[in-house]
Amino acid sequence: MLLLLPMQSLLPYIQIILSVILVIAILLQRTGAQVGGAFGGSDNFSSAFHTRRGMEKGLFNATIIIAILFAISAVLNFL
């Protein structure tokens, strides 16, 4: 119980940092040739299905990892 107390006081700050990083990672991802593609304005369906390579793949994987860490921290905060 003694080890949980410092973690409980740090958890809100960890969640804030993870949420900011997650928002930035999501906004950095490119959904298509135009910004309107993110809001459903793109008529080209092939822009949504492409192979991620290089930095785009790394950013995609990092976004998934950050989202999982954020979900875990939310569950820990709930407990």
Helix (H, G, I), strand (E, B) or coil at 75: helix
* Closest alpha carbon to 47 in 56, 57, 34: 34
Measured CA to CA in angstroms, residue 7 lies from 17, 57, 78 at distances of: 15, 32, 13
Look-up of token digits 């298509």:
32
pLDDT at 71: 95
Predicted confidence (pLDDT) per residue in 25-70, tens digit: 999 887 654 455 555 555 555 555 667 788 888 999 999 999 999 9
Question: Full-prediction pTM beyond 0.95?
Answer: no
